[in-house]
Amino acid sequence: MPSIISANLRITGNLESEGDIQIDGVVEGDIRSSSLTVSDSATVRGAIEADMVAIAGSVTGQIKAKTVTLQRTARVIADIVQESLSIEPGAYFEGNTRRIAQEAPRKLEQPKLEQPQPGKSLNGPATSMEPVRPALTNGAAPNGAAPNGMGTDDKAAAGQLRV
């Protein structure tokens, strides 16, 4: 059975319980418990730390829990650190969330790349290659002809193409 902070009760100060707490009123202070329920009429201003947190009311502060549920009537302005987060449609959440890893993340293995060996290509046996000829940048054809296929003695001015 949870400890209940009723709707007509306002608490200024920190709450700590090894059991469950249900808040229907107002708490201005930090809360630590096993399980915390913030009802739709409740307001909490402070840090929350629990295994399980269910929020239907208003929370401003920081939340750290294994499981956090923001119900459709929740109004939360907080940073949330959690293992599992559930947000129902209609809930208002403003802040950041960060996941606590349940287990240490596995290290990703780098793919093993085959190292090239002299005389052997990674794509098959080595082949001889012809030397690469530089591209002509002045527009001249390799045989001395103009780029338009006509001789260099053509009367066309540079940059013009005669059809």
Dihedral class, residue 117 (left if φ above 0, else alpha if ψ from -120 to 50, else beta): beta
The CB density around residue 32, as the number of other CB atoms within 10 Å, is 16
pTM here is 0.62
Query: Does any domain span residue 69?
Result: yes
Residue 156 is predicted with a pLDDT of 46
Whether 127 is in a domain gets the answer: no
Q: What is the pLDDT of residue 161?
A: 43
Residue 64 belongs to domain spanning: 3-99
Number of residues that this document lists for the chain: 163
Longest dimension (CA), the chain: 105
163 residues of the chain, pLDDT tens digit each: 889 999 999 999 999 999 999 999 999 999 999 999 999 999 999 999 999 999 999 999 999 999 999 999 999 999 999 999 999 999 999 999 999 876 555 565 666 666 666 665 555 555 555 555 555 555 555 554 544 544 444 444 444 444 4
Determine, yes or no, domain membership for 112: no
Q: Which two tokens stand for residue 149?
A: 């296929």
Asked if the structure places residue 31 within a domain, the reply is yes
* Residue in the block written with tokens 């338009």: 148
Return the structure tokens found at 64.
């750290």
149 in any annotated domain: no
Number of independent structural domains in the chain: 1
Sheet strands (E) in the chain = 3-5, 10-12, 15-16, 20-23, 26-28, 31-38, 43-45, 48-55, 58-70, 75-87, 92-94, 97-99, 120-121, 124-125
Residue 20 within a domain = yes
